[in-house]
Structure 1
Amino acid sequence: MRFMIFATIFTIVFILMSLYISKRFIKKLHFKKRYKNYLNYFLIMNIFGIIGYMIFRRYPIVPNEIYFLLSIPIGILFLLFSTAIIYDIFSYLINTSIKDEKRRDFFKRSLDIGSIAIAGSINAKAMYNAKHIEIEKVDVKIKDLKKPYNIVQISDVHIGGLVDKNFISSLVKTINTLNADIIVITGDLVDTNLIYAKEALNELKKLKSKYGSYFVVGNHEYFHKVENIITYVNSLGIKVLENENVYIGEKNLGFNLAGVYDIFGYSYGSYKPDIKKALKNKQNSPTVLLSHQPKYLEELKSTKEIDLILSGHTHGGQIVPFNLLVKLQQPYIRGLYKHNNTTQIYVNKGTGFWGPPMRLGASSEITLLKLTSID
């Protein structure tokens, strides 16, 4: 039921965006009516693509080639909507600031052609970017850390559809070259029915690190029977941290690694985050907390016991200018921040993608965090 409500609202939003594109962009173009009709038909096709995407995201039983065609309309319409807003602004400026009719007509036609060309180029560039995962190397100074550690973080992989066994196999091979002490996965690993994700998840058994791999759930796991996903990920030899902590490294030389459920658990009614329980009986050493959403930081009355928080969820905005909307909902979007005198937070931009296989202004990433002591 939650998924049906989400899918309905999601589709309605894109229908409204398409109406804006049609009325405020396509209708104003100095093109023949026939070409404008073609563009409107293209919008309608994209809406049907989004409906198909919402169906097959949950049940990915179609070939990847078809799934690709169903997934890109989300990105196309969003970027066209952004283009339409910018077009609207420049069109208004041209009409109000240029008095000479011939000059105004010249600039207007140039704007029309330029807008279509730029929109097409940006969409192509965004699809190209999504195919390439960058390794972000980040140095983090931790107070009282006795020896250095390498943490490899991935987040928001979103297994399902285009993020399949081949994607995960390639990802694992890259991670295994990074000499990780531990590997952490900060939520939204699975974004489909578990039965369709198992083949890809099984590839994670091949992850190699000195002290193991750890996982906390994100909001998307709750859409697909979170309890079953937790059980299966544990069976892969990846420890799911469920409001608990473990000690990493040799005695008195390591750090506490804690993890909490996602804040979506409040709406779900169970599997709720509990920081007190997560930090219970931790050792007198630095503490790293895994929490899917950076926003959870705002719920912590005190962060004095936590040295570093590792999060994801935001995708770094994934497609500009969506990052501006993410900023309204999350305190941090990407990268390393000093939250206060005792706590830092790192937000991973996401290793996979949600929705369209597109990224613009926010590359996919594998994070290599090098933890060292403050001199």
Structure 2
Amino acid sequence: MKYVPRLLLALAIPAVLFLLPWWTLVAAPTEGTSTLFWLGTAITVLGYVGLPAAMFLGHGPKQSDIASMVGDTALGVMWVLFSWSALGNVILRSALIIAGVDNPTRSHTVAITVLAVTAVLVAWGIYEARRVPRVRTVDVAIPGLGAGLDGLRMVVITDTHYAALDRLRWSERVVDVVNAQHPDIACHAGDLADGSVIKRRAQVDPLGKVEATLGRFYITGNHEYFGDAPGWIDHMQSIGWQPLHNQHELITHNGEQLIMAGIDDPTGVGMEGHGPNLSGALEGVDSALPVILLAHQPRQITDAVAAGVALQISGHTHGGQIWPFHYLVRLEQPVVAGLSRHGDRTQLYTSRGTGFWGPQLRVFAPSEITVLVLHPA
């Protein structure tokens, strides 16, 4: 009985995603009477049954890569189709009613428009998700930063989510772009991969070629705790990255110093020795030195403000990944993307992420490789 609520939720979400597109593309244009109505209804029912089945086979105990690719892609396509079905019915249908356009022309126009817009956005979204991210450069003023650290370049990648789709070549090209930015410090802010080290290490290993003069630092995201967080911490260390597992490192450059700290994702609380511990990470830190904190989720900023952190770097949100999902993300996180100020002295940079999770689509939420250039405030 304890699985009944989960089962009902797993059936309810696809029902919502399929019902509105079915009415928009099938029921309304055919008025429920033609062969196309029954064919469209059959395809809808097949999709309604197949989507949760593929998601379970892909992300459940079997961990089938083929099923996860099919299920994730179908989920993304249906989200786009559902979103634009809603917009088509609210905006376009209302405009046609006001203009005096009668059925079936009105319903045909809405259906064709929704289908065309969805097709274009899905094709574009796949291209955006699979391309090498654009570089985004942001200047950040840090209180207490020494003059010798002015212009320090921190290159941030996050949410690479190496998974069922083999992106080895993409990973190698990301490393090339990162190195072309000549980072002083390189950071990976979590959600490295989905799956075990054995299954995904080939895609991750190119990160060992990232070059950063003052260090390469990595923290866990929530997805590491869905797989093998200790294994990924060990593996990143084996390829030359310094995991910041609730700890800090002192960075010295041109006679000046700053603190580079990192904490675990909150999802790790259930695992012994894991979970965020900011006070432990900053134990023994000189309070006069500015602290740069890697924390996967933006909502961890509350503790960062209390601790007087100068800059928190986060990911997790993907910028919403597929519009208009960012409105739902905003219900859980204080920021979806970009540089923001919190409290009197703390700033937060939230990356839209370098890769993608699940559906290989990005719609109005482009990926990024971020260059944070630090300056004294």
TM-score range, shorter chain: 0.7 to 0.9
Query: How far has the Cα of 1:271 moved from its partner?
Result: 0.8
Query: How far has the Cα of 1:358 moved from its partner?
Result: 0.5
Structure 2 partner of 1:143: 143
Residue number among 151, 167, 172 corresponding to 2:170 in the alignment:
167
Equivalent-residue separation in structure 2 for 1:25 and 1:91 (angstroms): 14
SS at match of 1:276: helix
Equivalent-residue separation in structure 1 for 2:206 and 2:233 (angstroms): 16
Scaled by the length of structure 1, the TM-score of the pair is: 0.88
Equivalent-residue separation in structure 2 for 1:173 and 1:95 (angstroms): 51
Contact 1:157 1:163 in 2 (8 A): no
Structure 2 partner of 1:78: 79
Structure 1 partner of 2:34: 33
Q: CA RMSD in A?
A: 2.9
Structure 2 partner of 1:117: 116
Name the aligned partner's letter for residue 144 of structure 2: D
Worse overlay, 113-122 or 185-194:
113-122
SS at match of 1:264: helix
Query: How far has the Cα of 1:177 moved from its partner?
Result: 0.8
* Deviations, residues 98-117 of structure 1 (Å, cap 9, x unaligned): 6x5x6465444322221221
The number of residue pairs the alignment matches comes to 368
Structure 2 residue runs of 5 or longer lacking an equivalent are: none
Query: How far has the Cα of 1:219 moved from its partner?
Result: 0.4
* Deviations, residues 69-99 of structure 1 (Å, cap 9, x unaligned): 453211111011112222332476368756x
SS at match of 2:180: coil
Equivalent-residue separation in structure 2 for 1:228 and 1:344 (angstroms): 31
Structure 1 residue runs of 5 or longer lacking an equivalent are: none
Structure 1 partner of 2:127: 128
Query: How far has the Cα of 1:162 moved from its partner?
Result: 1.8
Contact 1:159 1:191 in 2 (8 A): yes
Which residues in structure 2 correspond to 1:48-127 (within 5 Å)? Answer: 48=50, 51-56=53-58, 68-90=69-91, 93=94, 97=98, 103=102, 105-127=104-126
Worse overlay, 125-134 or 323-332:
125-134
Contact 2:352 2:366 in 1 (8 A): yes
Query: How far has the Cα of 1:357 moved from its partner?
Result: 1.0
Structure 1 residue 287 corresponds to structure 2 residue 291:
yes
Name the aligned partner's letter for residue 119 of structure 2: G
Query: How far has the Cα of 1:152 moved from its partner?
Result: 0.4
Name the aligned partner's letter for residue 33 of structure 1: S
Divergent runs of 4+, >6 A? 5-8, 58-61
Cα 1:215–1:33 shift into 2, 3 Å:
farther
SS at match of 2:256: coil
SS at match of 2:134: strand
Equivalent-residue separation in structure 1 for 2:7 and 2:130 (angstroms): 26
Scaled by the length of structure 2, the TM-score of the pair is: 0.87
